[in-house]
Amino acid sequence: MEQVRNDVRNIAIIAHVDHGKTTLVDQLLRQSGTFRENQVIQERVMDSNDLERERGITILSKNTAVRYKDTKINIIDTPGHADFGGEVERVLKMVNGVVLVVDAFEGPMPQTKFVLKKALELELPVISCINKVDRPGARPEKVMDEVLDLFIELDADEEQLECPFVYASAKNGIASLDMHKLGDNMEPLFETILEHIPAPKGNFDGPFQVLISTIDYDNYIGRIGVGKVERGSIKTNQEAIMVNEQNPELHKKVKITKLYEFEGLNRMEVDQAEVGSIVAIAGIEGIHIGDTVCNAEHPEALPFVKISQPTIAMTFSVNDSPFAGQEGKFVTSRQLRDRLFRELQTDVSIKIEETDSPDAFKVSGRGELHLSILIETMRREGYEFQVSKPEVLFEIIDGKKNEPMEIVTIDVPEEFMGTVIEKLGKRKAELINMTQSKGGYSRLEFSIPARGLIGYASEFMTDTKGNGILNTIFDGYAPYKGEIPTRSQGSLIAYETGESIAYGLFNAQERGTLFIGAGVKVYEGMIVGENARLGDIEVNVCKRKQLTNVRASGSDDALKLSPPKVLSLEQALEFIEEDELVEITPENTRIRKKILDSTKRKRASRNK
């Protein structure tokens, strides 16, 4: 028999990137008395990993819980980028409602639409929170209408359209139900959550069932499965069985050694948990996302969201450059393999396959950002490896080659519109929609093949002088659109191994743009710059000036070197061609030719 558990609410906070989800969770934690009066806490406390803090984005969904009056509110902070959409789809299975955060100036953005669509498909009730109402240019009334238009566009039912609106400034920790009068604290939002988000329901006395929606990892206790208790109550030291709806062969007897619930930012050990609780289960070897942990006598698997397929792939291989093993802690193929396969434990949208070579692995993900975050994380952990140019994964549908498509939404000042339309046109993009946006900006919507976007982000920033905003979202597969021209410049390649010297660089910079300054170790076949024209050129950056005993006025003037263009990891991945690799070590990112020896390289290109 179903009963309601009134002392718990489970919510997810969803929004477009940068609309203030994580800051909002901060305030809910602060104002619910989760922290001690004198506790020092950093901002955006939920973004716990270094990369999240540096880039100001959420990559992994996080669980937390606050207490308000007599109710425990379990909150899940979700990522906003399309590349991490797999995270959002899963965690929505754990909650009974969502708080949709929308920026009072920007209004609904592509990702707002994506996450809201997922929530409406699961028939979850929504609370709309219009955030940043105190920022200059905020337009809460208009944004409220835009949000309702979005609900209608996504076929929301009557009940969903009646969603309550809360107006907030998460930064200042205030919320209100009236857009013209800001409150003093977050209480209006807490009250709205209690009133509009249904309490979890379930059979308290039935055999227990927990669906694992996320995986956490702890160095001491290993893998931790996080999920919601759907039925019955789960206790520590209980015998259980693990099953999976998509893998009928899985029938594994397990024992629940440790059970945790979330309190604030911590996991608290508990002896048992009831229906509606979000729990973390430790001590189960090989637990995966989508598994159901259930009563040993009643093995029933719960249905799970099908995870979206990867759209982009790269080859990760062991570093074999002349400088291999000098800077990294983990350099062997076994260490690389173990680390990549460990990533599968926590990231379900990634796919790793072995190749013909024992030293190379094909890694597929949801987008460039998804894979570059993995590369950066591994680099910081002390891994040394090489990656190839990102390539798009095609699918054969009805005997025809289909490729992944993206919808790109671009907000740019009107003066840059022509350039953007022209550049994207060359990349096989089609303009679908064009509207007058706010403050002299125009909004352009394109449909473009995913491979057309590889390498466009940094070019877009240059073209719009940093004023443009670009958002993408996956849009299914469509027939192959034909060839897309790649970069028109060749590479400047180091001619010998040594250390770069100002004299050699001075001569080389006449040929194009350099990526390195003086005093940098280089090796034969390493790429040190971009040629101003087509084709590759070998340059000798280690060349010293011949010393003579003749003195002439003017011949010994100081050499003027242009500052080098230092490429970030993303720019390096965008720059390389198919015969080039990016070498990644904890200290350096270098670009190189696959074949370092110039004679062999020329022979290979002739044979091609």
Question: Pick from 68, 8, 36, 34: which is nearest to 189 by CA?
Answer: 68
Please state the three-class secondary structure of 321-358 as a single string: CCCCCCCCCECCHHHHHHHHHHHHHHCCCCEEEECCCC
Q: Token digits for 107?
A: 């209004």
pLDDT, tens digit, 9 for 90 and up, residues 518-555: 999 999 999 999 998 888 999 999 888 877 776 655 55
Question: What pLDDT, in 10s, does the model give residues 262-314?
Answer: 877 677 888 888 888 888 888 787 787 788 888 888 888 888 766 667 888 99
Task: Identify the H or E element spanning 405.
Answer: strand 400-413
Which of 30-39, 98-107, 345-354 ranks highest by mean pLDDT?
Answer: 98-107
pTM beyond 0.75, yes or no: no
Strands 498-499 and 469-479: unpaired
Q: Helix or strand or coil: residue 162?
A: coil
> Over the stretch 340-392, which tens digit does the pLDDT of each residue have?
988 887 777 789 999 999 999 999 988 787 888 899 889 999 999 999 998 88
C-alpha–C-alpha distance, residues 199 and 185, integer Å: 24
* Backbone dihedral angles phi then psi of residue 10, each to the nearest 5 degrees: -120, 120
Assign 418 to helix, strand or coil: helix
The annotation places the binding site at 18-23, 131-134
Q: What is the DSSP string of 218-279?
A: ETTTEEEEEEEEEES-EETT-EEEEEETT-TT--EEEE--EEEEEEBTEEEE-SEE-TT-EE
Judged against a pLDDT cut of 80, whether residue 111 lies above it is answered with no
Per-residue pLDDT reduced to its tens digit, 51-65? 444 444 444 446 778
In the three-class reduction of DSSP (H, G, I as helix; E, B as strand; rest coil), residue 421 is classed as helix
Dihedral angle computed from the Cα positions of residues 543, 545, 548 and 551, in that order, rounded to the nearest 10 degrees: 170
Cα–Cα dist 89/104, whole Å: 25
Range 132-155 average pLDDT: 86
Q: Residue 296 carries which side chain, given as an amino acid letter?
A: A
**What is the biggest distance separating any 2 CA atoms in the chain, rounded to whole angstroms?**
101
Domains of the chain, first to last: 2-199 (3.40.50.300), 202-295 (2.40.30.10), 312-392 (3.30.70.870), 402-479 (3.30.70.240), 491-607 (2.40.50.250)
Of 270, 40, 52, give the one whose Cα is nearest residue 21. Answer: 52
Q: Do 367 and 376 contact (CB within 8 A), yes or no? A: no
β strands within 283-332, DSSP E: 291-295, 312-318
At position 450, the amino acid (one-letter code) is: A
Task: For residue 41, name the pLDDT band (cuts at 50, 70, 90).
Answer: very low
Is residue 69's pLDDT more than 50?
Answer: yes
Instruction: Give, rounded to a whole angstrom, the gap between the first and last alpha carbons of the chain.
Output: 71
- The confidence score (pLDDT) of residue 581 equals 95
Name the more confident of 88 and 164: 164
Give yes or no for a contact between 292 and 210, defined as CB atoms under 8 angstroms apart. yes
Residues 6 or more apart whose Cβ sits within 8 Å of residue 39: none
Q: What are phi and psi of 403, to 5 degrees?
A: -130, 155
**d(Cα 275, Cα 205) in Å, to the nearest integer?**
9
Name the most confidently modeled range: 107-111, 294-298, 447-451: 447-451
* Cβ atoms 25, 77 nearer than 8 A: yes
pLDDT at 46: 43
Q: Across residues 3-27, what is the average pLDDT?
A: 78
Q: Phi first, then psi: what are they for 243, rounded to 5°?
A: -130, 165
Pick out the residues of the known binding site for GTP: 18-23, 131-134
Q: What is the average pLDDT score of the chain? A: 82
Tokens 């979330």 correspond to what residue? 262
